Amino acid sequence: EVKIESEDFASVLLKLGDRARGAFTVSQISAGRKNRFAFEIFGTKSSAAWNQEQPDELWLGHRNDPNRVIVKDPSLLLGRAAGYADLPGGHSEGYDDTFKQTFRR
């Protein structure tokens, strides 16, 4: 047996304004994925999902239309958002950030 001195699981129910509700769960004891970060947002007409294991994809689900996956491509981004995507489409952001932050200082 291993003595654990930290919180292993937490779940929070959220009330956002008068109508929106949510849940947030974190766990260090769930078997399988070792370090996954993901979110899903569900609305009455559509939903969105993203996870760090596929960081360049945003899944959009619709009630009455086909679901789709949007792939990150700076050439398709609008205005100020394009400035946050430093690499061309097909290249994952992240690894190069180490070097960008070092040399910007």
CA distance 8 to 6: 6
Q: Hey, what domains does the chain have and what are their CATH numbers? A: 32-104 (3.30.360.10)
Could you tell me which residue, 69 or 7, shows the higher pLDDT?
A: 69
Q: Which residues of 60-96 are buried (b: 16+ CB within 10 A; e: fewer)?
A: ebeeeeeeeeeebeeeeeeeeeeeebebeeeeeeeee
Q: pLDDT-based confidence at 24, cuts 50/70/90?
A: confident
Q: What pLDDT, on a 0 to 100 scale, did the predictor assign at position 46?
A: 94
Q: pLDDT-based confidence at 105, cuts 50/70/90?
A: low
pTM tops 0.85: no
